[in-house]
Amino acid sequence: MSDTITPDLVSLDVGLGADKAAVIRSLAARVVAQGRATDADALFADAWAREQKDETGLPGGIAIPHAKSAAVTEPSLAFARLSPGVDFGAPDGPADLVFLIAAPEGAAEAHLAVLSKLARSLMQDDFTSGLRAARTDDDVVAIVRAAIGEGDASATPAPAPVASAAAPAAAATGPSVDGHPARIVAVTSCATGIAHTFMAADALTAAGVATGVELTVEPQGSSGYQALPPEVIAAADAVIFATDVDVREIGRFAGKPVVRSGVKRGIEQPKELIAEAVAAAGDPNAPRVSAAATTGAAAAPTDNLSWGARIQRILLTGVSYMIPFVAGGGLLIALSFLPFLGGVNVNADGQAFDVVVQNALWDLPAGGLGQYLGSVLFVIGVTSMGFLVSALAGYIAFAIADRPGIAPGFVAGAVAVLMNAGFIGGIVGGLLAGFTALAIARLNAPRWLRGLMPVVIIPLLASIVASGLMVLFLGRPIATLMEWLNTWLTDMSDTSGIIVVGVILGLMMCFDLGGPVNKVAYAFAVAGLGAASAENPTPYLIMAAVMTAGMVPPLAMAFASTVLARRLFTPVERENGVAAWLLGAAFISEGAIPFAAADPLRVIPASMVGGAVTGALSMAFGVQSLAPHGGIFVLFAISPIWGFLVALIAGVLVSGFLVVAFKRFIAPKELQAAEDLPAVAVPA
Catalytic residues: 66, 190
Pseudo-torsion of CA 220, 223, 229, 234, nearest 10°? 10
Q: How far apart are CA 216 and CA 230, in angstroms?
A: 12
Q: How far apart are CA 81 and CA 102, in angstroms?
A: 17
**Residue 295 — φ and ψ, nearest 5°?**
-120, 165
Strands (E), 538-658: 624-625, 638-639
What residues contact residue 397 under an 8 Å CB cut-off, 6+ apart?
A: 405, 406, 408, 409, 410, 412, 430, 431, 433, 434, 437, 462, 466
Q: How far apart are CA 166 and CA 213, in angstroms?
A: 6
What residues contact residue 3 under an 8 Å CB cut-off, 6+ apart?
A: 145, 150
Q: If you count them, how many residues does the chain have?
A: 684
Helix (H, G, I), strand (E, B) or coil at 186: strand
| Class of residue 478 by CB neighbours under 10 A (exposed 0-12, middle 13-18, buried 19+) | buried
Cis peptide bond prior to 84, omega within 30° of 0: yes
Q: 22: closest CA among 126, 74, 100, 117?
A: 100
Burial 91-119 (b: 16+ CB within 10 A, else e): eeebbbbbbbbbbbeebeeebbbbbbbbb
Element (H, E) at 101: strand 95-104
Q: How far apart are CA 582 and CA 602, in angstroms?
A: 22
User: 407, 391 in Cβ contact below 8 A?
Assistant: no
Helix axis angle for 475-492 and 406-418, nearest 10°, is: 60
Helix axis angle for 458-469 and 422-441, nearest 10°, is: 140
Q: How far apart are CA 663 and CA 633, in angstroms?
A: 32
Helix axis angle for 538-559 and 516-528, nearest 10°, is: 140
**Residue 316 — φ and ψ, nearest 5°?**
-65, -35
Residue 62, beta-bridge partner list: 58, 97
Query: Given 3-state DSSP classes, what are the helix, strand and coil percentages for the chain, each rounded to the nearest 5?
Result: 60, 10, 30
Q: How far apart are CA 610 and CA 542, in angstroms?
A: 17
Tell how strand 214-219 and strand 76-86 pair up.
unpaired
| Class of residue 541 by CB neighbours under 10 A (exposed 0-12, middle 13-18, buried 19+) | buried
Give the residue ranges of DSSP H helices in 196-241.
Answer: 196-211, 230-235
What residues contact residue 523 under an 8 Å CB cut-off, 6+ apart?
A: 319, 322, 392, 423
